[in-house]
Structure 1
Amino acid sequence: MDGVSTGVRAAARIVARGDGRGGTSLPVLEGEGPLAVRRTRASGEEARVLLVGAMSGPLGGDRFTVEAKAADGARLRLGSSAATIALPGQTKEEARYEVRLDVAAGAELHWLPEQLISARGSGLTVTTRIRLAAGARLVYREEQVLGRFGEEPGRLTSRLAVRLDGRPLLDQELSCGPGAPGGWDGPAVLAGHRALGQLLVVRPEFVGAPVAARPLGECAALCPLAGPAALVTAVAPDALRLRHVLDGALRDLS
């Protein structure tokens, strides 16, 4: 039918809450199709969950949704078992990947997936919406690689919108690849680099002791946000060097 996507629709849903004994339970752990979810070995109070790609994709026309909630007393770490590769599908329709994270007061969520790779000929829009209650804690890492080795990237649009206690904390969007607004690969944006990422850390302690803005090497910077948060943005020639920068920044902020 015209106007109806022919791609795969899949969703994953995770709910974590404190178990009252110093740990974190997972009353909801659901995934379907290419979005399988697996609980892994816990560490102290923290529950750990991996997204496991059961199929290739997202392909053109696919619609993926991941929802995760850290309720009262929860400590939740979410990752992925491998990089996500956006690939062209049988149609020219773009794929869409939506992430929704919700963190209650006193809860903590770490979103630390592997890289998203935009392969040649693909089209993907990623939208991440995060709701934080006052007193919530968050570590959010986002890494994108434009093209596999030796190839041009596909079209990738990424939006991150974060609200804290009902108020906007961060709202930004970037488009890269064929058809993106001019200048995305110029000196003011990527300057020829093919890996880009950011790290957002939200902690109540930053209210009284905000981080100081500073460069992190030649192609990364740490900035305080107007709230108890710090944002690291970075570009690099490849995924390995990008991860090195973001991991170092997280250690400094811990």
Structure 2
Amino acid sequence: MTTAGVRATARIEARDDGRGGTSLPMLDGEGPLALRRIRSSGSEARVMLVGAMSGPLGGDHLAVEARVGPGARLRVGSAAATIALPGQAKGEARYDVRLDVADGGELSWLPEQLISAGGSELSVSSRVELRGDARLVFREEQVLGRVGEQPGRLTSRLTVRRDGRALLDQELACGPGAPGGWDGPAVLAGHRALGQLVVVRPEFEKEVPAARLLGEYAALTPLVGPAVLVTALAPDALVLRRVLDGALRDLT
């Protein structure tokens, strides 16, 4: 830790172990980012991201990197919600997620919610690189403010690429200082929980799910390539998770 905040990176590497399972030759956490392997299911390795400290705080720069090799299956979750908080160090906090899935690999990225607490400033950047017939489930959930609290400033960008071609590239800014209208009827419409689910499956090349509404504030949209995007708004994290879980059951 310095006066500029904490710098820490957690790294995961998953490989086919040649015996019908997945090995984890790299499982390395730093500072507030601890990694734990938990009970696996079948050929899938499961990893839990455990926050060892509060944060990210102002000035922190945290990163998580995961690489999934051919034939490997990896599922990553987190033990609790991540709470962005104001810190003693001035400036914006950063949280970077870098995911790489090889041809024939499979990644399920299913962390708990990110909560933007009042007074915080956080920039989240998630970049996913897929190759060939890689499979992906990527869930992202954000809650603007704790109970009875105005949110902090949150900027989030998600990019998903397959063989160098963009499947999705979008950015959203919310909270104090964000472009006007972020909380208006054309964007969040007063909701405080927002999320998205990206599912990439090779079989979608032949038959991609049709675009449809998933309730009043959620929709499924096919993307260019074998992928779909589910976006949802909700009054709270519990309702948001229920909507995204229902969509995931329908797609997998």
Q: Same fold (TM over 0.5)?
A: yes
Give, in whole Å, the separation in 1 of the partners of 2:75 and 2:196: 17
One-letter identity of the residue aligned with 1:139: V
1:164-198 Cα deviation digits (max 9, x unpaired):
01111100000000000001000011000000000
2:131 to 130, 133, 147: 133
Gaps of 5+ in 1: none
- Residue 92 of structure 1 deviates from its aligned partner by 3.1
Give, in whole Å, the separation in 2 of the partners of 1:74 and 1:158: 28
Q: How does 1:1-254 map to 2 (within 5 A)?
A: 6-254=4-252
Residues 171 and 150 of structure 1: CA distance in aligned 2, closer, same or farther (over 3 Å):
same
Give, in whole Å, the separation in 2 of the partners of 1:183 and 1:50: 36
Give, in whole Å, the separation in 2 of the partners of 1:91 and 1:21: 48
- Residue 5 of structure 1 deviates from its aligned partner by 6.4
Give, in whole Å, the separation in 2 of the partners of 1:60 and 1:5: 10
Count of aligned positions:
251
1:123-169 Cα deviation digits (max 9, x unpaired):
00000010000100000000000000000000000000111011111
Whether the 8 Å contact between 2:3 and 2:89 is mirrored in structure 1 is: no
How high is the TM-score relative to the length of structure 1?
A: 0.98
Gaps of 5+ in 2: none
* Percent identity of paired positions between Structure 1 and Structure 2: 76
CA RMSD of aligned residues (A): 0.8
Give, in whole Å, the separation in 2 of the partners of 1:75 and 1:162: 18
| Runs of 4 or more above 2 Å deviation | none
1:35-79 Cα deviation digits (max 9, x unpaired):
000000010000000000000000000000100011011000000
